[in-house]
Amino acid sequence: MNIKKQEAAAHLEVNGKKMDLDVLCGVENEVAMDGLQLRNQTGVINLDPGYGNTGSCVSSITFLNGEKGVIHHRGYELKDLAANCSFLEVAYLLMKGELPNPDQHRQWTELVRDNSYLGPSLQELLNHYPVKSHPMSVLASVVLSLTGFYGDLGHETYYQFDMDVVRLIAKTPLIAAHNFRRKRGMNYIYADPSLGYAENFLHSMFSKRLPKERRKIMATALEKLLIIHADHEQNCSTSTVRMISSSDANVYAAIGGGIGALWGPLHGGANEAVINMLEYIKMRDGDLEAVIKRAKDKDDPFKLMGFGHRVYKTYDPRAAIAKEVVDSLLKDLGVDEPLVDTAMELEKIALEDDYFVSRNLYPNVDFYTGIAYKAMGIPKEMFTVMFTMGRMAGWLAHLLEFREDENRRICRPRQIYAGKPIREYVKMEDR
């Protein structure tokens, strides 16, 4: 990897022990101290709850500049990819490092197309989940169950792993769509090989109830939304996927864990929470001030959902793309969605309020996307499933990269102990 090393460029003295640390410099001039020998040489560890100051790996997939609001994948700016590519092209780029040429693109899309089905036993498994199950719980557990459908995954061969990557890209949308339909007593819809990735998902969800011209409009928007969700370097769920994979657990175990992490409302679950928040405001006759007041109240756990980010300290570039997608989708569908105005008013008030400005709290990727999904007729409980469909490409790209990482080792952080010192055992009768 093209990382520059400045030998012994950092100096540390702690408890009378001195050590020099190498400094690593990334392609975009990010700088890290190489802490590999820190504990061995000083007996000291670095404590960093939430890992805000800790790098877990060297990666070549995505770069974020949180101060400038820049994101690129393998060197291509996200806005260029969202404007020009299909989701499968971007998934290929993330995993392989280059945009596919026509032959590679044809092979890749055919491979995904040929695996875009759910066999009868997988459909049957889905049909037995309680109808009220949250779609993220169904998706996580079905993904984990795929180990039972695709052979013994004790220690995967390269071919097995690569095929599992294809299966997850191909089948995730179909698991989501069939779960939506079976909850409503509707039948499984077979994918249409003549349709693109996003359009096939909509076809599998709504079948002929969705007129073709509306489906095409929605598919154009959905491809862009899947692209802006595809990868975001070492976020919570991607780090979870890497951590699970570091124990040599199989790909479905790692992805199942990633889905669980993404589900949280502080992470991918925020898109569902944003719509709940906007509907709450609407229910209170547009009382935006009440929501802003609650978000600022330290005694109130309520947060302004869709706002703030660990890395972006300016407008999330993906939120800007999502807003453009929402505007053109609503116009092309002829949908008048009052929640857009509520969201824009909320954004305006927050961005003029010192509490948010002083903390660099701006709209993130989740602030507008739910409005687009709502306009497509996708139920709120599936919004984070939509995030999962996009992020699947990034998770798999990181798994493939981690598999080749020469510094790969099991992830096992240290801690500082704050419990009782060693003490004598006390018998039950003496307690």
Which residues in this chain contact ligand SDX in the complex, by CB under 6 A? 50, 232, 235-236, 266-268, 270, 295, 303-311, 359, 361, 364-366
Output the smallest distance, CB 332 to ligand SDX, in A.
Answer: 26
Q: Which is nearer to ligand SDX, 196 or 390 (CB)?
A: 390
Distance, CA of 416 to CA of 414 (rounded, Å): 7
Contact 24, 59 (CB under 8 A): no
Q: Which is nearer to ligand SDX, 74 or 232 (CB)?
A: 232
Q: Which is nearer to ligand SDX, 84 or 360 (CB)?
A: 360
The catalytic residue positions are: 309, 366
Q: Among 265, 277, 343, which residue's Cα sits nearest to residue 304?
A: 277
The two structure tokens encoding residue 385: 């499933």
Output the smallest distance, CB 336 to ligand SDX, in A.
Answer: 26
Find the residue with minimal CB distance to ligand SDX.
308
C-beta atoms surrounding 89 within 10 Å: 20
Sheet (strand 31-33) strand order? 4-14, 17-25, 31-33
Who's near 75: CB < 8 A, 6+ residues apart?
none
Q: Which is nearer to ligand SDX, 195 or 273 (CB)?
A: 273
Q: What number of helices (H) and strands (E) belong to the chain?
A: 18, 6
Output the smallest distance, CB 300 to ligand SDX, in A.
Answer: 9
Helix or strand run (H / E) with residue 10: strand 4-14
Distance, CA of 425 to CA of 431 (rounded, Å): 10
CA distances from 201 to 143, 171, 189, 295, 423 (A): 17, 10, 10, 36, 60
Q: Which is nearer to ligand SDX, 79 or 310 (CB)?
A: 310
Helix ranges (DSSP H) in 128-235: 135-145, 158-182, 197-206, 212-228
Strand segments, DSSP code E, in 42-200 are 62-65, 70-73, 76-77
Angle, CA 128 vertex, CA 396 and CA 269 arms, to 5°: 45
Who's near 280: CB < 8 A, 6+ residues apart?
291
Q: Which is nearer to ligand SDX, 256 or 308 (CB)?
A: 308
Output the smallest distance, CB 29 to ligand SDX, in A.
Answer: 20
Q: Which is nearer to ligand SDX, 50 or 154 (CB)?
A: 50
Output the smallest distance, CB 317 to ligand SDX, in A.
Answer: 11
Which residue reads 């055992």 in tokens? Answer: 425
Distance, CA of 398 to CA of 94 (rounded, Å): 8
Output the smallest distance, CB 427 to ligand SDX, in A.
Answer: 45
The two structure tokens encoding residue 382: 């599936």
Output the smallest distance, CB 167 to ligand SDX, in A.
Answer: 23
